[in-house]
Structures are given as C-alpha cells and as structure tokens.
Amino acid sequence: MLLRLSAVAFACGLLLPVAGLTADLERGEALHETHCKMCHDSVAYRRDEKIAKTYDQVREQVKRWETNTGLHWSEQDIDNVASYISKRYYGIPCPTC
C-alpha cells in the first residue's frame, strides 16, 4: 500500500510545473540591456534579412555571441535572453514563455 501511494505521489509530482523551466523575461531584458544592446540596438532586429527565423535559431545566435564575448552565461540565462529577444523584437513564440 505504501509503495502504491509513493508511486502515485511521484507521478503527480511529475505533472506539476517545475520552477526554473520557464523563461524569466525580465532577467533576459536586463542581460540584453547590459551586454547586447550596445551593438544590437532595435535597428539590428528590424533588418529585412534576419538570420534567425525561429526560436531555436534565435537561441543559437544568443549562444554564439555569449560564447564569442566570453560571458559564461548559464543555459537558463541563454534561454532568458533568447526568449526576451524572440518575444520583443521578432514576435516569435518561445516554448518557455
């Protein structure tokens, strides 16, 4: 009986939202304003030929520039910035917003 209750409790816990799996758009904005905006102002995101056309492509570009500039962001911060840029400048839905 105890084993069955433990299994049910565990299964129900898997269905609950997990903290940290959603993007923090405010943090993404703060990181973008601090580290990216000096080179990537809003004009950069309004070019006719955008390199990124999907959320995954936006995230790849954020990761690329985070690596190139030596920022050492966590994967969550990369998601936060990619989600912020996707929503704010590209109008692309992100999976964690």
Stretch 3-23: mean pLDDT: 50
pTM of the model: 0.74
pLDDT at 5 over 50: no
Q: What digits encode the pLDDT tens for the residues 23-79?
A: 999 999 999 999 998 887 767 777 777 788 899 999 999 999 999 999 999 999 999
Position 48 scores a pLDDT of: 75
DSSP character string of the chain:
-HHHHHHHHHHHHHHSPPTTSS--HHHHHHHHHHHTTTT--GGGGG-SS-S--SHHHHHHHHHHHHHHTT----HHHHHHHHHHHIIIII----TT-
